[in-house]
Copies of this chain bind each other. A is one copy, B any other.
C-alpha cells in the first residue's frame, strides 16, 4: 500500500542537519532519510504496529538511524526480551548509536552503544513530573522528541553530556504539552518557562 507513495522533500528542507522521522511505515522513513544528504543526526520513532507487521522493513530503517525513541513495551517487543537493559542492548545492535526509552510520566532513559558519542559505562535517565493539571496526553511523545532534537540542533558538538541534557529538554517539553489541549500550551510557552522547568527537573534528581 505504501509502494506508490514517494515522499518529496521541499527544496528548503534538503540541507536539514537534524532529521526526525516520526512514526510512519518504516520504508517511507528510510526513503526520506536517503534523500537528505546533509544530515548530521537522524532521530526516529516507531510503534508496535510496525514492529509486529513490518519487522524486516524496520530493521533496514534502523541501520540508517542515529537515535531511536520508543517506549518500554516497544523496546521489549522489538528485542523480544523482557529485561529492559538487555532489550536495550539488543536494539542498539540493530543499528542506532543511542536508544531513548520513554517511560511516560516517569521520564526517559538513554542507552548508548559502546563507544558511541564518546566514552561512558552506563545509561542515563532524565525525569519528568507533570506539575500542573494533565489535560491531554496527546502529543507528549512528539513534544518530547521535539525538545530532544531541538536541543541537539542548538549545540556545536554531539557528545554524551549533550545527549543527556537533550533528554532533560525532552521531558520538559513533554510535561508542558500535556498541560493543555493540542498544541495550546506549547504555543504560549516562553524560553523563561522552559529554563525554569529544566531547573526544577534538575533539582528533582540531583543530590548536593
Contacts and interface: CB of A to CB of B under 8 A. Distances in A.
A83 B133 contact: yes
Nearest to A127: B125
Given A106-B103, A107-B106, A85 B205 contact: no
A109 B126 contact: no
A208 interface: yes
Interface in A156-208: 161, 164-165, 168, 200, 202-208
B85 A204 contact: no
A36 to B, nearest CB: 30
A205 B205 contact: yes
B206 A131 contact: no
Contacts of A208: 161
20 contacts: A83-B133, A84-B130, A85-B129, A103-B106, A121-B203, A122-B200, A123-B129, A124-B203, A124-B205, A125-B127, A125-B129, A125-B204, A125-B205, A126-B205, A161-B207, A164-B207, A168-B207, A205-B205, A206-B206, A206-B207
A105 interface: yes
Interface in A65-92: 83-85
A93 B41 CA distance: 48
Interface of A: 83-85, 103, 105-107, 109, 121-127, 129-131, 133-134, 161, 164-165, 168, 200, 202-208
A134 B83 contact: yes
A208 to B, nearest CB: 5
Contacts of A105: 84
Contacts of A127: 125, 205
A127 B206 CA distance: 11
Contacts of A205: 124-127, 205-206
B130 A83 contact: yes
